[in-house]
Each structure stands twice: as C-alpha cells, then as structure tokens.
Amino acid sequence: MEDKEKVITESTVRAPKSTTPSTIKAPEDVGAIGATIKVVIDGKEIRVPLGTTILNAARMLGINIPTLCHHNDLCISGVCRICVVEVEGMRTLQASCAYPISQPIVVHTHTRKVRQARRHVIDLLLARHYGECYSCVRNNNCELQQLAHEYGVDFYRFGHVDKPTYGCDNSSYAIVRDMDKCILCRRCVRTCIDLQEVGVYEAVERGNKTRIGTFMDNPMAQLICINCGQCINRCPTGALHANDPSDAIWAAIDDPTKHVVIQTAPAPRSAIGECFGLPAGNPLTFEMNTAMRYCGFDKVFDTNFSADLTIIEEGTELILRLYKALVKKEPVSLPLFTSCSPGWVKYIEHFYPEMLSHLSSAKSPQQMFGAVIKTYYAELNNIDPADIVTVALMPCTAKKFECNRPEMNSSGFKDIDYGLTTRELAGMFQEAGIDLPNMPKSDFDEPFGTRTGSGVIFGATGGVMESAIRTVYELITGDRIDNLFEHARVMPVRGFEGVRYAELPITKVGPVPDLLKHLIPNWDWLKGATLKVAVAHGTANAKKVLENIKSGGKLSECHFIEFMACPGGCLGGGGMPIPTNEEIRAARARAIYAEDEASEVRKSYENPAIIRLYQEFLVDGPCGHKSHKLLHTSYMPRGKKLV
Amino acid sequence: MQVLDRVKINQEISDLKKTYGDDRSALLPILQDLQEKYGYLPNLVMQETAHALDIHPVEVESVASFYSFFRRKEKQGKYVLRLCQTISCDLSGKAKVARQLENELGIKFGETTKDGMFTLEYTNCLGMCDQGPALLINDRLFAKVTPEKVPQIIADCRRDFVKSEFPKIVPSNVKKSGPILSHDLKPGEGLKAALKNTRSGVIGLIRESGLKGRGGAGFPTAVKWQLAGAAQSAKKFVVCNADEGEPGTFKDRYLLFDHTEMIFDGMTIAAYAIGADKGFVYLRGEYLYLKKHLQEILENRRQNNLLGENILGKEGFNFDIEIRMGSGAYVCGEETALIESLEGYRGEPRNRPPFPVDTGFQNHPTIVNNVETFLDAALICVKGAKWFNEHGTEKSSGTKLFSVSGDCEKPGIYELPFGITIEQLLKEVKGENAKAVQIGGASGRCVARKDFNRTIAFEDISSGGSIIIFGPQVDMLEVAINFMEFFVEESCGQCTPCRDGNVKLLEGLKLLEKGRCSVSYLNELMRLAETIQLASKCGLGQSSPNAFVSIIENFKSEILGRVPEKA
C-alpha cells in the first residue's frame, strides 16, 4: 500500500476567502542566518523564526495575552484589539495576534496603556452585548464573560443595551443565531468561508451598523447552510448555539407510555469528560452508559453497531458498483462517496448536485439504527414502534437536520426523533445532578452491545475508510488485514492532513463469503486490481477533491472516498465540547483509536450482532430489498440558488 | 424574477467579466455597472454575480452594503441628489438648502419620490468646501447652492439638463500659485527627464528633494519607492490615491482636472523607478464626473507612447493605467483599505506589517501615493531637487497645496511653503477673525487662537491640506458633533475601539449638548479617546478622536454646563 501523499495543491482550486491574508512567510530553513529574531517580552528573551507573531512568541514564553477574535484554526484577523501590547519605539499599540516579528523588538504586555485599552475594549463590547449571563447557554464557558472577570469589570462603564436589537433566529433544526450576543469577532465568517467554504455569513453594512449578516437576511433554515455547526464551536459567546431538544427528551422520559432509547455515537464518549473538567482524550464510554440510564433512558445502545451495518451496506454497494463497472461494463458512478456525514451530504446537494450519483445510498449509522430500532428491535421486544422515542447522541448539529428529513421514515415512523449533541447531554447530566467522571461503569444494552472497534473509529477522519478497508479487504482476499497492517491499523488513511490518498493492491482473492454469494459469483475480476481510496475532512477539502475529480485529476481514478464535513471528522463535530483546536482534536482521536484496540471485534463483518441481524431480519442480505427499504435513502439536488 | 431575467443578467455579467476580468478584483466595477443599469442591486443580481466570480452571494452583499453608493433594497431615483453634510458646507448654509430640497421634492432625506425621479441623500465631503453648499446630482456638481436655486435645479433635472443655466463643470478656485502650480511643463516632459536617469537615480533624486507623502502621513516618498523597488516580485503596482475624502480637502479634484498629465507622468515615473507595469487611479465615487476626462488623457498618452509598451523607446518599460472608481467610503483613502477595495473586498484596512511595498495589491509590492505626490515627483524630475526643497522646512521640504474653507474672505486652493504659521495663513486667506482652525480635516486637529503661532509642517502640525476656519460665531460643540458623526458613519466597523468607541464619544457630545455630562464621565471619554488613538487598527481609527480631544481640550468652558433652549 502506498503511503499517503499530497495529491492536491492549494493552487488547483480557486477558493473564496473572507479576507486577504497578510502575514510574513516563515523562513524555510530556521537555521539560516537571519531566520530567527530576538524578542524581549516583559523582560524575558527568546529567539523566534521570522514572521512569528508576538502572541505566539509570548505563548512560547508562557506569557498570557488575552484573545477574542483570534482562533488557532482560523486565519489572522486582528479586529477585536483585546490582544494589544506595547512595542518599544512604536507610537500605537499593536495587536499581538496579527503582528509578525520581522526585527528585534521589546514588548510589554501589561503597561497602563495596554490595561486601559483592554478594559475599554471589553467595556465597549459589553455595552452592546445584550442579555444576562445566567440566561445564556454559554454561561461559564464564554470567552467574553471570562475576560470581563479577568479584567475586573464590575459595572457597565459605557452603559448597556436593555432591549434586543435583532431577536433570536430559531428557524434551523440545527443552529440558533442570537445576534444580540454577537461581538463581531468574525470567527463564524472565517469558519464558514475559509474553513468550510460554505459562505453563510459575512459582515454587512459598515461603521457602527456593522453586523454579521446572511444573504438577503434570510433565516438560517432558508440558507445554504450545511448545519455543520463549526461556527458554534468557534463562537466566543452565546451568539451561535445548537437547537437544544433536551426539554422534549425529558418530557418523553417522563411519559410512562414512551419507550425511550438512546444510541451513542463514537465521538461524544471521547470528549464529554471535557464538559466535566477533564482534559481532552479521557473517554467516559461506560460511565456515560450508567448516567444515561440514571437519567431515565430505557435502553442505551451503541451506534458502533450501525456503523458496522453501514460498512456492510456501503461496502457491498462499492463491490456492486465495481462489479458493474469492471465486469458488466455498465455505467456506474465511481468513485463512490460515503454518506455518513449529514453536513457533507447537504454540502454536495447544494454545491455539487450533479455529482449526487456518486453518493452512497446507504443511510448514516444514526438513521440506520433508528430504522432498525423501530422495526427489528420493536418486533423482537414486542413494542409498538409508535411508542418508541429514538434519541441519537451525536457529536453533530447536522444530525438534527438529518433526522428531520422527511424521507427518513421508511419504517412508517421517524427513524430518529431527536438528535442530541454531546454538549446537550452533558447539560442533561448536570441537570440530573450527575458527576459523570465518578459514575460507575456499565455496558451497552443487548442485542446490539458488542464492543466493536470498526464502529468506534468512525469518530475520526479516515475511520470509515479504515473500517471499510478492513472488511472489504478480508471479504475479498480471505486474508487477514493484520498481515498487511500491524494490529489492523490502516495508517495511510489516518491523520489530520486535509486530503489523504492511498492505494491497496489486491494480490490474491479468496472465496466469496456467504453474505455476498447471491450478488457476486467470484472475485477473479479483482485479482491484481489496486483499490484506490481517498479521505477528506472539512468541506473546504471536500471541494478540492470534487474539483479534482471534475477536472479529471488523480482523484477521479479513486474507487471510494470518505468525506466528513467537519475538520477532524466527527471528533471535531459541531456538537462537541467547546473549545476546539488541533491539540484537542488529536487527543480525542487518540482516545478513539485506543478504544478500537481494546475492542473484541475490529472488523464489521465479524460483529455477531450484525451477523444475527442479517440472519434473522434482513434475510435477503446486504443491499437486498428489505435493507434498501429501511437502510438506504435518496438525495435531493438542492443547488445553491436562493433567488 | 423571471427565468428570462436570469439569463439576461448572466449574459450581462459575463460581458462585464470580459471587460473587468474574472477574478474578485472585478467585483466593484461589475457592481457599479449593474447598479447603473438597474438603479440598484437586486438580490438576483448579487447572487448571479457571486456565482460568476466563484464567491458566495453573502460576500457580494457584504461588499455592496459596505459602500454607501450601492443600494440593495429599493431602486434609486433617476436622479440621486447628494447634499454634502461636511462642516464647511454646514457653515455656508447647508441646513436651509436641505430644508428646501425636502420641501420641493416632498420627500425626506433617504427617500425616493414616488415617480422614481429623485432620491435625496446626504453624503460626506464632495470636495467643494470653498464653494459650498455643494450638491451632487448623479455626476453633475452644483456649487454655492442656495434655497432660491433649488427649484430651478430640480426643474433642470426634469428636463434632463437640456438648456441648463448651471455650468457643467464648476471652475476651481486657485487663490495662490507657487512653483508647483505655475509649472509650464508639457505632457511627458517629466517622464522624459526621468527616463534619462537610472531607476536608482530617480529614487535618489526624490530622496534628495526630501519629498514626503502629500496625503498627510508624511512618509518619505523615496523610501517607499526604494522598498518597493527592492522587493522581489514578478508583478508590481503603482496606485494613485485619488480617494480625496478628508472633509475640507478639494485640491486633488482640481489637480486631477488641471494637472492630469503631470500626475500621470508622476505615476509612470514611479512605475519606472520600482519596476511596475500596471497602475491604478483609485478615484472616489463622488468624482465620477472626472472619469471621462482622465480616460481621454490616458488614451492620448497611449497614442503618444507615454503609456503602453516600450514607453518613449525605453526597451522593456511597459506600463498602463486603469481607473477604478470608489463607491462612497472614506476609509478607502487608507492605503491598505484602498488595496482591499481594489481587490474587490470591503474597504477594511489590513494588519501592518507586512506593508504594501512588500505585500500589496494581490500580495504584490505596491506603492500608493497621493495625487499631489505624483505631481511633485514629476516636477522634481525636471526641475531638480533643489528647486523643490529650497521651499519649506528642513523636515518638510517644498510647497504644499492647501484647501481652505470656512469663515474667511478668500476660500480656495493655496500653494504655500511648509513651515508657514497658522497666523500667516489666516492673513493670506483673510480669516484673521478665526477663533479656531481645523487643520487636517476631520482626522486632524482643532487649533485654538492661543496656538496660532504654530507651524504647518510634518514636524509640528501635519496636514494633508485641509484647512477649515471657524469664526467667532461657530459653536465648537456642533463642530465636534459633525466630525464624530462622520467617523461613526465612516468607520469600517471591523475593530472594536473605532467602531464602538466613536459611538460613545458621539453619545458623550450629545450629553454635553443637553448639558448632562459630568466632568468625570468626560474624563473617562478622554481616556477612551486615548484608547481609540492607541489601539485602533488603522490610521483612520487612530486619528478619529483627534477633533474630539482637541475641541474638548481647547473649548471646555464653551462646552460644559449647557442649558439647552426649550423646544
């Protein structure tokens, strides 16, 4: 297997950007003469590479400079002016986040002028920031509140608005916009345009009338928004938050006629501890199970089960498409695109509707599980599906939109009733007085309770691909993937590079397994073939891949491509604990891969619950009639025109 | 809109892309043309433009909403009447003209008449401060408007200015010429002289002359050219900042009309000196009426090989100039905001460093100089450094053009040497009675009588040329309010101190007007003003509280403890 390589260069795609980047390029060779510069900050000295910002130099020295508009995932902005510092010899204060060091300088971070300016900036932001902290979803996790505290704000120096100016936009299933709390840091703008290339927000008007607007001032539900929620994760205040269904879920729990089941996706368990003060990367899978039962959920299931189910269905779809293309010479759309990420699905529906035929018809694990619960599980336990309330704990805000798609009711009932984010479940736990890290551990409920690593890695970018490779490779070759990759770690598809490409040669083939016998006579046609795959995360990277395919680039030769709307995959999802950054996402990934290694099943087709499901319920096999009805869906070419 | 419209609009946009290019920097010109055609920018137009340029519709709306000349909601009238609301026009009776305009049209400011003929708006400085009140109707300028003239002006509009008694072009008002304005050079003469020199020789000559930027900041021109010349890049740009928006400034308007050739000579010399092959004149939207004149001259120069390829036989020296219009945003006079605007973005100043000489238009080295700077540079190339720097002071060499308006007998354009005292200047313009002088426009400083012995020079009181004189009858609080209203409106809105801070300063002035501001709160506002000066992102923000601070400092007794007249 070829190692991952860079297949996309930045210049291949013209990208809109929220602002012209103005930085000084870092030297290629840090060891070269003149490549590093001496800086003195608050009397401490350090040598930094040319172009390092004052903020980063200060951080290297352990000196804290407050920030607000700055975010490590986003380009430099320098608009809030909270991070100003005094540079000797300069008349004005400099924004440390935006000042690239190009000559030796002496910096002071807390002189009178600096303290006064910071305090004024906070006072000015508070003067127009409507609302009270105790009625805000971000109470105790708000950057503005934190700064007000740190800088000793004890009165509204420049007054305070007592009436809302904009009102709250609740129209979207996923994202609530409360512009009265907006402080114009423009992180959402940079997130949506630069990071995701969706372009919902921009600053409109100017001067004191400046606000963050949407096209035609449309409400969120009537925009080209993919519901990824990345803007929420980067909003410093409560101006952007998710549409929280927990009251309705409590009501269902309180209703004795309802059988309330919750499925938990892989990513939330890796991060929910962060809501309880734990550092990132401390999974609380089994504590969470106990806590959910304590809250009153009747059953606690693991979405890993339906992740495995997705692999079987999507993997079969891939094999069938390859078979049609290579053997029957029928026209089929290749590469096949994954469809697990509802943000990604809406992205392609809006921006590349002409490529929808590439999208796997398999529902996402969330929806598959819902359909299975309201059919198979309901029959098994003799419960009227009308009385079942399915809740999905997800790292994702787009899942809230997905579960409300009108087509997602093939059993006659809504597959999933409520999509709940990690943050919101943590809120429910807190409301129930649960100290999550200290809960006793307990397992998932049967009949879907097998601990499966091939499901859990869905939480990280590349996970679906890795899982698919493990299963498809073994089904085709009859060989163990472990012989190719130590501990079945398919390293070429792991990591955080935006687009990753890998090749997997099929040197030998085995017998067709029972599960697929009715679809494929033999594997001979794959012998000697090379399976080409790619992985992309963040829709800006997805765009690069799609453009590469459209222009007949290297990626158009791929057979299978995994797309995740969020940077990092689900573990960077819009419903995950705030804040987020590269280190936090890496820590969550480590937790996910550790759970994979500790699992009894690490290949989807070996999951006994899956085998049982096909034996007892989906008897016409993967991609059969019944699974098509329940587990597959169709898409809508939405386009990007609002008028 | 109908499907047909969409097809038609897309065809228009694709034609415009052929004219202006298909990257984002074509956005403003395309929107300007579309607005001209449709009278506003309908949502469909913004969306289709966005998709044609491969950007998001909200980005187009963001840009359109930034510039005050674009309209998004309702169609503008056939004639858009823009009355100047700057202090100079205030002083010459704007309020009465405004009232009469409303009376005659039957609408308020910000509205359009039902028949779609007239839209009435305020605008910031039209550059007619010496001949106010000024009214701009589409691309036609009216000076010294009085309430009596209003009905006739409107009647002329209705007749589409056929047989109008008003002059098409308002003559400029040069009251005193010096070595610069009285030059007798022919087109290309400056350029010819420069081309006899080496590139570094040209820069050396400019350095020797001591020429500093005439926009007001006073950065040494030679250093700017030297840095851009030394930068390694396949492309470099020369930009003429003709976004003369500083309230009380009108000398560039005159220069662009009467000294056009020498300005273009100067730009071409700069291109030669730094190695650029493309230039822009960023002309403020209010000066649209100058565009045709400039284009004619450019065309002439192309014919005479003063532009184009191998200029004047200099092998490999290629340069051409394109005129780009602003759309009503004062902040675009800030050089990085101007570059952003040229690139098709909101006119929001960039972080510096890096500086434009290194990372400018589309990240290429770019020099941005004032109109007057280019003129001076061209003349220096012919007449030498000594001819230039024998005037002025050691640190502020040469003569400077001043735009004088307000309470004096002889408002107009003056060429005077740097280092002149305010007293001398007032004598020259016959405004000795002044109680205060605003030097440098809204972003400048208000100087009271006691400081009239100070000099105008980069090392003392710096100025881009705007001089507004306030007679004894002027209410300084009203002046301060006028300036702060200007900044609240013209702040780009990106950084907190300027966007929100100036609002608080203005609110404070309104409290003072009501006689309801405590001295302790006023002191707090003075500290806030210091913060705005220190912590704002750009020069506009940093200078926005200057008028506030200097007026409060100089006229506290006039301003405190007011008892408002009962309504």
Quick one: average pLDDT of A617-634? 96
Q: Where are the domains of chain B?
A: 3-66, 82-170, 175-389, 399-470, 476-559
* Domain shared by A67 and A205, yes or no: no
For B82-170, give the CATH class.
Answer: alpha beta
Rounded to the nearest 10 degrees, what angle do helices A246-254 and A422-431 cross at? 50
Note the helical H segments in B23-123. Answer: 27-38, 43-52, 57-66, 87-91, 94-105
* Domain shared by A79 and A152, yes or no: no
| Nearest one of A279, A259, A210 to A391, comparing CA atoms | A259
pLDDT digits (tens, 9 = 90+) for A144-198: 999 999 999 999 999 999 999 999 999 999 999 999 999 999 999 999 999 999 9
Could you tell me if A158 and A207 are in contact, meaning their C-beta atoms sit under 8 angstroms apart? no
CATH number, span B175-389: 3.40.50.11540
Q: Which of A363, A399, A414, A603 is catalytic?
A: A399
Quick one: average pLDDT of A540-557? 96
* Domain shared by A219 and A332, yes or no: no
Confidence (pTM): 0.95
A115 and B CB contact within 8 Å: no
Tell me the nearest-neighbour CA distance from B66 into chain A, angstroms: 5
Q: Rounded to the nearest 5 degrees, what angle is found at the Cα of B91, between the Cα atoms of B436 and B501? A: 70
* Domain shared by A511 and A573, yes or no: yes
pLDDT of A209 reads: 96
pLDDT digits (tens, 9 = 90+) for A278-308: 999 999 999 999 999 999 999 999 999 999 9
Residue A544 lies in a domain: yes
- Contacts B346 to A, Cβ<8 Å: 203, 206
Residue A10 has pLDDT above 80, yes or no: no
pLDDT digits (tens, 9 = 90+) for B140-183: 999 999 999 999 999 999 998 888 778 777 788 999 999 999 99
Q: Which of B38, B53, B351 to mutate to test the interface with A (most CBs of A within 10 A)?
A: B351
Mean pLDDT over each residue of chain B, to the nearest integer: 95
Residue A6 has pLDDT above 60, yes or no: no
Beta bridge partners of A281: none
Among candidates B57, B497, B502 on the partner chain, residue whose Cβ is nearest the Cβ of A120? B497
- Do residue A20 and residue B363 have CB atoms under 8 angstroms apart? yes
Q: pLDDT tens digits for chain B (567 residues)?
A: 556 689 999 999 999 999 999 999 999 999 999 999 999 999 999 999 999 999 999 999 999 999 999 999 888 999 999 999 999 999 999 999 999 999 999 999 999 999 999 999 999 999 999 999 999 999 899 999 999 999 999 999 999 888 877 877 778 899 999 999 999 999 999 999 999 999 999 999 999 999 999 998 899 999 999 999 999 999 999 999 999 999 999 999 999 999 999 999 999 999 999 999 999 999 999 999 999 999 999 999 999 999 999 999 999 999 999 999 999 999 999 999 999 999 999 999 999 999 999 999 999 999 999 999 999 999 999 999 999 999 999 999 999 999 999 999 999 999 999 999 999 999 999 999 999 999 999 999 999 999 999 999 999 999 899 999 999 999 999 999 999 999 999 999 999 999 999 999 999 999 999 999 999 999 999 999 999 999 999 999 999 999 999 999 999 999 998 988 765
* Domain shared by A461 and A593, yes or no: yes
Active site residue A270: no
Fold of B399-470: Ubiquitin-like (UB roll) (3.10.20)
* Domain shared by A104 and A176, yes or no: no
- The identity of residue A317, as a single letter, is E
Q: Which of A314, A349, A474, A595 is catalytic?
A: A314
Instruction: Tokens for A126, please give them.
Output: 């508070």
- B204 contact partners, CB below 8 Å, separation of at least 6: B222
Which of A242, A266, A295 is the C-terminal boundary of a domain? A242
pLDDT digits (tens, 9 = 90+) for A463-521: 999 999 999 999 999 999 999 999 999 999 999 999 999 999 999 999 999 999 999 99
Q: Rounded to the nearest 5 degrees, what angle is found at the Cα of B395, between the Cα atoms of B393 and B396? A: 60
Quick one: how many helices (H) and strands (E) in chain B?
24, 14
Which of A214, A242, A270 is the C-terminal boundary of a domain? A242
pLDDT of A12 reads: 42
Residue A588 lies in a domain: yes
Residue A473 lies in a domain: yes
Q: Which residue of A has its CA nearest to B56?
A: A199
* Domain shared by A196 and A112, yes or no: no
CATH number, span B476-559: 1.20.1440.230
- Host domain of residue A211: 129-242
Residue A323 lies in a domain: yes
* Domain shared by A172 and A205, yes or no: yes
Among candidates B44, B57, B495 on the partner chain, residue whose Cβ is nearest the Cβ of A79? B495
pLDDT digits (tens, 9 = 90+) for A405-426: 999 999 999 999 999 999 999 9
How many A/B residue pairs have CB atoms within 8 Å? 172
- B325 contact partners, CB below 8 Å, separation of at least 6: B28, B29, B32, B283, B284, B285, B288, B291
pLDDT of B161 reads: 85
Residue A543 lies in a domain: yes
Q: Which of B58, B327, B494 to mutate to test the interface with A (most CBs of A within 10 A)?
A: B58
B334 and A CB contact within 8 Å: no
* Domain shared by A486 and A593, yes or no: yes
Residue A549 has pLDDT above 70, yes or no: yes
Among candidates A79, A100, A642 on the partner chain, residue whose Cβ is nearest the Cβ of B57? A642
* Domain shared by A454 and A548, yes or no: yes
Q: Which of A270, A360, A411, A454 is catalytic?
A: A360
A156 and B CB contact within 8 Å: no
Give chain A's domain count: 3
Say yes or no: do domains B82-170 and B399-470 share a fold: no
* Domain shared by A207 and A182, yes or no: yes
- Reported as a pLDDT band with limits 50, 70 and 90, residue A8 is low
CATH code of residue A214: 3.30.70.20
* Domain shared by A90 and A175, yes or no: no
ipTM of the complex: 0.95
Q: Which of A197, A317, A349, A595 is catalytic?
A: A317
Residue A21 has pLDDT above 90, yes or no: no
- Reported as a pLDDT band with limits 50, 70 and 90, residue A3 is very low
Tell me the nearest-neighbour CA distance from A9 into chain B, angstroms: 19
Mean pLDDT over each residue of chain A, to the nearest integer: 94
A352 and B CB contact within 8 Å: no
Quick one: average pLDDT of A205-227? 97
- Reported as a pLDDT band with limits 50, 70 and 90, residue A15 is low
